[in-house]
Amino acid sequence: MTLAHHVFNHLWQSTLFAMAAGLLTLALRTNRARQRYWLWLAASVKFLVPFSLLVGICSHLVWTAARPIALPGLYFVMEEINQPFRQSEIPAVSRTPVATAASNLAGLLPVLLPCLWFCGCAAVLFFWWMRWRRVSTALRAALPFGDGRELEILRRLERIAGIEKRIELVSSKSPLEPGVFGILRPVLWLPAGISDRLSDAQLEAIVAHELCHVRRRDNLAASVHMVVEAIFWFHPLVWWLGARLVEERERACDEEVLRQGSDPEVYAESILKVCKFYLESPLVCVAGVTGSDLKRRIEEIMTCRIADKLDFGRKLLVATMGIVAVAGPIAIGLMQAPQSRAQPQAAVAASFEVASVKPNRYGAAASTFRARNGSLHSTNVSLRDFIRWAYGVKDYQVAGPDWLTSQRYDIVAKAPAAVPDDRLMPMLQALLAERFKLAIHRETKERAVYALVAGKNGSRLHEVEAGREQSSGGRGSLSAQKMSMSQLADTLSQRVDLPVLNTTGIEGVFDIELKWAPDGDNANGPSIFTAVQEQLGLKLEQRKGPMEIIVVDHAERVPTEN
């Protein structure tokens, strides 16, 4: 799967997670704001944590139990949610490619999209850097409070709040509102002359509000979301989440200030005075006092509505959603865990007595593969071919790195006693898992295939009496006796670049004679597609069809010692 598909899957998963968090906040709308705030923050952090990491980790766990029979439907739904955007390993082949403006643009997209993302990310970071520079300049010009009622109020509220590390208090000539700057060493700044505009009770309410931001570490959470916005600047939901976070954090601080005993009317009036004389903080990671919907906040403060604590039902709902969010990727990963890792244990009773596995050193042009009576002799054979034979699949049904084909090996193995040929397959599977650390899993996906269908005028085949099949052929020819349509489709699969499915509906066996130009040179004869149509009365049509493939999750290029 390409990087683009991973990105699309991650965006889909994060969007779905944020939507679920939004529905949950609706269920908690009568509860405390801090609970809704943590839900929105979790939705934001999810953009930085791809579920595919958890799925990948769990998919590499040892999975020895058989896959439950009753779960395929559920697994399919979970898999579609996990990665609805998937890439076909066997692309459709166009035999007459035409260069068009659309295809040229599609070819440039892998370059244009990263450049566009980088420009957007850089623009967002530059915009925030300019704002941060403005705040930082104002802070450097600020003067620390040596004494006065502002410092006395701060120290008294610190003791009440249980804050052991003293917060530095500075006075700034900047027209910005009171705010907290910094994460590890927060600094509380107050505009110069604020004492002349606020009474002691009002100033105490403002300071209490800012201390709530410090205890909750709101600047740290806001900085994390700023990273999310910089990376995913193109996603509207990310900016909407930022607004929800500011809204709920201010409400949470309002509720905390009122629970500490501040008079609602005094507190509301202090916020309005700050809004009247000072400007809002330009950065969300510098927590102030005037953020969010001011009118709605004042109404809630004046009504002094006491938010409900989470009852048992809502606690159960939140816990269930959290478990599902974590357990879902774990379950998908476990379901994808390569079953081949359990094969060495399952095949102990049916393993080779002796086996020699070595990389081929001679680079011979020819390959040999003989398996009979419990013995296996092979020379200059690729790991892909070993996998293909061990699992009974075609070459196009094996998906893995390129070296599976390029690297060649010599394997000589012998069982303790003569065994049927079909028993050699699980024995070879165990040998590959042991020596190459091979780990695979099976997937069924839609693939580009050829469908073998009857021609418009009917086939030109004549049924013969069933018997033992005999076939021969070389490059550009096929001669077979007593061959069924399924066998013909399998044979044609070896001659074309895609699998061939038998959809003729024709029963019985037939003698087949077929000749074509192997290189597609019409001067030397018809193509295999034309030959099938003209000589057999059949047709190869390109379609999409389901196919089970073997996906190689892991394999060691150098096998372990003999």
Q: Would strands 375-382 and 408-414 be described as parallel, antiparallel, or unpaired?
A: antiparallel
What's the pLDDT tens digit per position in 292-320?
A: 778 888 888 888 666 667 777 777 877 77
Confidence band for 560, pLDDT divided at 50, 70 and 90: confident
Q: How many CA atoms lie within 13 A of 320 on its CB side?
A: 8
Q: Coil, strand, or helix at residue 83?
A: coil
Confidence band for 172, pLDDT divided at 50, 70 and 90: confident
In degrees, to the nearest 5, what angle opens at C-alpha 441 toward C-alphas 440 and 447?
115
List Cβ neighbours of 73 (8 Å cut-off, separation of 6 or more): none
Q: How many helices (H) and strands (E) does the chain have?
A: 18, 16
Say which amino acid occupies 404: L
CA distance 500 to 491: 9
CA distance 526 to 515: 8
What separation in angstroms does the CA of 435 have from each of 6, 62, 98, 344, 412? 31, 17, 46, 10, 13
Flag whether pLDDT at 65 surpasses 60: no
CA distance 481 to 484: 9
Q: What is the mean pLDDT of residues 200-217?
A: 91
Amino acid 341: pLDDT: 45
CA distance 380 to 406: 10
| More confident position, 228 or 318 | 228
User: Do the beta carbons of residue 120 and residue 233 sit within 8 Å?
Assistant: yes
> How far from chain centre, in Å, is Cα 356?
40
Q: How many CA atoms lie within 13 A of 410 on its CB side?
A: 10
DSSP string, 39-101: HHHHHHHHTTS-HHHHHHHHHTS---SPPPTT-HHHHHHHHHHH-S----SS----SS----H
Amino acid 476: pLDDT: 80
Q: What is the CA radius of gyration of the chain?
A: 35
DSSP string, 29-53: TTB-HHHHHHHHHHHHHHTTS-HHH
Flag whether pLDDT at 92 surpasses 60: no
Amino acid 498: pLDDT: 81
In degrees, to the nearest 5, what angle opens at C-alpha 156 toward C-alphas 151 and 162?
125
Q: What is the mean pLDDT of residues 180-209?
A: 88
Flag whether pLDDT at 227 surpasses 90: yes
User: Do the beta carbons of residue 337 and residue 66 sit within 8 Å?
Assistant: no
CA distance 412 to 188: 76
Q: Would strands 538-554 and 398-399 be described as parallel, antiparallel, or unpaired?
A: parallel
Q: What is the mean pLDDT of residues 432-444?
A: 90
The mean-pLDDT minimum among 26-40, 297-311, 495-509, 526-540 falls in: 297-311
CA distance 321 to 327: 10
- Count Cβ atoms below 10 Å from residue 291 Cβ, excluding itself: 21
The mean-pLDDT minimum among 121-125, 166-170, 473-477, 479-483 falls in: 473-477
List Cβ neighbours of 147 (8 Å cut-off, separation of 6 or more): none
The mean-pLDDT minimum among 7-11, 96-100, 368-372, 436-440 falls in: 96-100
Confidence band for 469, pLDDT divided at 50, 70 and 90: low
Q: What is the model's pTM?
A: 0.56
Mean pLDDT: which of 143-152, 270-279, 457-466, 533-542 is highest?
533-542
Q: What is the mean pLDDT of residues 193-210?
A: 88
Q: What is the mean pLDDT of residues 88-95?
A: 39
Q: What is the mean pLDDT of residues 140-168?
A: 87
Q: Where are the beta strands (DSSP E) in 415-485?
A: 439-454, 463-464, 470-474, 477-484
Element (H, E) at 133: helix 101-140
CA distance 220 to 186: 10
The pair of structure tokens assigned to 391 is 């699992």
Write down the mean pLDDT value for the chain: 80
Flag whether pLDDT at 62 surpasses 70: no
CA distance 353 to 375: 10
The pair of structure tokens assigned to 472 is 């021969």
Amino acid 414: pLDDT: 87
Confidence band for 95, pLDDT divided at 50, 70 and 90: very low
Amino acid 139: pLDDT: 86
Of 261, 251, 250, 258, nearest in space to 304 by CA? 258
The mean-pLDDT minimum among 69-83, 85-99, 342-356, 369-383 falls in: 85-99
Flag whether pLDDT at 89 surpasses 60: no
Query: What separation, in Å, do the N-terminal and C-terminal C-alpha atoms of the chain show?
Result: 34
Element (H, E) at 512: strand 509-515
Flag whether pLDDT at 186 surpasses 80: yes
Q: How many CA atoms lie within 13 A of 427 on its CB side?
A: 27
Q: What is the mean pLDDT of residues 360-365?
A: 73
Flag whether pLDDT at 2 surpasses 70: no
CA distance 478 to 22: 63
Flag whether pLDDT at 438 surpasses 90: yes
User: String of b and e for 108-143 (b: at least 16 CB within 10 Å)?
Assistant: eeeeeeeeeeeeebeebeeebeebbeebeebbeebe
The mean-pLDDT minimum among 11-20, 110-119, 320-329, 449-458 falls in: 320-329
Confidence band for 63, pLDDT divided at 50, 70 and 90: very low
Amino acid 93: pLDDT: 38
β partners of residue 358: 410
Flag whether pLDDT at 350 surpasses 80: no
Amino acid 142: pLDDT: 87
Of 274, 153, 283, nearest in space to 223 by CA? 283
